[in-house]
């Protein structure tokens, strides 16, 4: 075990190396490119024994690892923004075939206009593809979550692809201390991937992806829905096991609660903004004011039960969203929290779109607004006058 100073994309690549991945398919896109470049370097240097496929597009990259995963190979890809959007139709195939692929998405705003900076619109737009979605706060969590993602995806009670989302530039290009577990310990933790279901083998031909006629299609989709719901207990279990072996955990694996004990006002958020929120909370606590945070780490499956319990004593709930559900005037997390909790004041705040800074004064403005608000409302924070 050693500590390195590294950027988020490299932390992701280190996790892939430690996971002893068999196949990587890649296509470059800002700000993800450094991740697959670093993996290519590991393979070229003999630090990772894997097949590296230089795909012609993101659509091809995800298609390639569907094939490799179906043969029983531990498979990985990474993308951002328009690249993830180009994968869209194939993401449904990955989940529908119950393939334990791990995909890293370095969050970046969608066009138009062209924007290379961070918000969550890209991954939120894929929330219903059947992928488990995890969001991380810092570079250490990037590494730990990718390793955990393989363990979750390959569990026989799950067998679903996992999308690990990290904020572009805010994490991907920022250097932070990251503790690397010993390679042999990670290999022992993950074990050798042995698919318990079908595996493509020319000596034992099988049909994969046949026509789903009306007589069977609905039941197959119900099985997929059951599997992603069943993953809740596996995500919790994996998080707990990781703590035991490597000394780090992230709440219960689904959500992380921060300073909730005496807090009437609670913020709910995902991703790197949680670090800024914690900083504000710590400063307010020194001033004698308690504000809490519920960090949503697992967005799909949505942890309704855990969030209800965490927010049961909150009087003022402020939900921060780095995305917009156009036509509903709310963010996706705000919609989900409103659907989960019916009897409390919940205000939704649209923040940080297209890489707009989310400043300390913005978090304080949100706290002040939600405490004074008389009803549920949506407010855009940090807008310029136009």
Quote the CA–CA distance of 194 and 49 in Å, as a whole number: 17
| CATH H-level superfamily of 2-246 | Thiamin diphosphate (ThDP)-binding fold, Pyr/PP domains (3.40.50.970)
Q: Is the pLDDT of residue 225 over 70?
A: yes
Q: Which tens digits make up the pLDDT trace of 114-158? A: 999 999 999 999 999 999 999 999 999 999 999 999 999 999 999
Q: Which tens digits make up the pLDDT trace of 158-182? A: 999 999 999 999 999 999 999 999 9
Q: Do domains 2-246 and 255-380 have the same CATH topology?
A: yes
* Structural contact between residues 31 and 79, judged by C-beta atoms closer than 8 angstroms: no
pTM recorded for the entire structure: 0.98
* Structural contact between residues 261 and 174, judged by C-beta atoms closer than 8 angstroms: no
Predicted pLDDT at 190:
97
Predicted pLDDT at 374:
95
Q: Which of 3.20.20.80, 2.40.160.40, 3.40.190.10, 3.40.50.920 would CATH assign to domain 255-380?
A: 3.40.50.920
- Check the CA dihedral 321-174-9-117 and report its sign: positive
Average pLDDT, the chain: 97
Quote the CA–CA distance of 217 and 239 in Å, as a whole number: 33
Distances (CA, A) of 184 to 20, 68, 131, 181, 266: 10, 24, 28, 9, 41
* Structural contact between residues 311 and 317, judged by C-beta atoms closer than 8 angstroms: yes
Classify residue 348 as exposed, middle or buried by CB count within 10 Å of its CB (0-12, 13-18, 19+): buried
* Structural contact between residues 242 and 144, judged by C-beta atoms closer than 8 angstroms: yes
Q: Is the pLDDT of residue 230 over 80?
A: yes
Starting at the earlier edge strand, list the strands of the sheet with 102-107.
51-54, 23-26, 75-79, 102-107, 162-167, 132-135, 298-300
Quote the CA–CA distance of 244 and 312 in Å, as a whole number: 29
Q: In this structure, what DSSP letter does residue 325 have? A: B
Q: What residue segments make up the domains of the chain, in order of their start?
A: 2-246, 255-380
Q: Is the pLDDT of residue 196 over 70?
A: no
Predicted pLDDT at 198:
72
Task: Please indicate whether residue 34 or residue 202 has the higher confidence score (pLDDT).
Answer: 34
Q: Who's near 344: CB < 8 A, 6+ residues apart?
A: 311, 314, 315, 317
Q: What is the rounded average pLDDT of the residues 22-44?
A: 98
Quote the CA–CA distance of 41 and 153 in Å, as a whole number: 26
């Amino acid at each position: 075990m050693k500590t390195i100073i590294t950027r988020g994309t490299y932390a992701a690549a280190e996790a892939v190396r430690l996971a002893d991945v068999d196949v990587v398919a890649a296509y470059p896109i800002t700000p993800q490119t450094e991740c697959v470049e670093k993996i290519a370097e590991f393979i070229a240097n003999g630090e990772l024994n894997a097949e590296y496929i230089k795909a012609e597009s993101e659509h091809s990259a995800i298609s390639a690892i569907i094939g490799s995963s179906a043969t029983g190979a531990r498979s990985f890809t990474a993308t951002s923004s328009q690249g993830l959007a180009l994968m869209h139709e194939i993401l449904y195939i990955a989940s529908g075939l119950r393939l334990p692929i791990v995909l890293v998405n370095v969050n970046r705003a969608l066009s138009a206009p062209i924007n290379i900076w961070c918000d969550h619109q890209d991954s939120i737009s894929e929330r219903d593809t059947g992928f488990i979605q995890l969001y991380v706060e810092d570079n250490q969590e990037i590494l730990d979550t990718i390793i955990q993602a393989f363990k979750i995806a390959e569990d026989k009670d799950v067998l679903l692809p996992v999308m690990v989302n990290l904020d572009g530039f805010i994490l991907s290009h920022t250097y932070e201390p990251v503790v690397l577990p010993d390679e042999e310990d990670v290999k022992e933790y993950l074990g050798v991937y042995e698919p318990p279901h079908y595996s493509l083998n020319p000596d034992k031909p099988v049909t994969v992806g046949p026509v789903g006629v009306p007589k069977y299609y609905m039941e197959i989709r119900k099985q997929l829905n059951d599997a992603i719901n069943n993953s809740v207990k596996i995500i919790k279990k994996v998080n707990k096991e990781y703590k035991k072996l490597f000394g780090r955990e992230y709440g219960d694996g689904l959500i992380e609660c921060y300073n909730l004990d005496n807090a009437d006002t609670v913020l709910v958020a995902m991703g790197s903004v949680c670090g800024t929120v914690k900083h504000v909370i710590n400063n307010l606590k020194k001033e004698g004011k308690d504000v809490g945070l519920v960090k949503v780490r697992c967005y799909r499956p949505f942890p309704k039960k855990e969030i209800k319990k965490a927010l049961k004593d909150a009087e003022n709930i402020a939900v921060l969203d780095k995305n917009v559900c156009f036509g509903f005037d709310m963010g996706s997390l705000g919609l989900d929290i409103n659907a989960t909790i019916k009897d409390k004041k919940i205000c939704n705040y649209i923040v940080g779109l297209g890489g707009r800074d989310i400043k300390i004064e913005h978090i304080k403005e949100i706290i002040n607004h939600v405490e004074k608000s008389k009803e549920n409302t949506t407010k855009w924070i940090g807008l310029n006058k136009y």
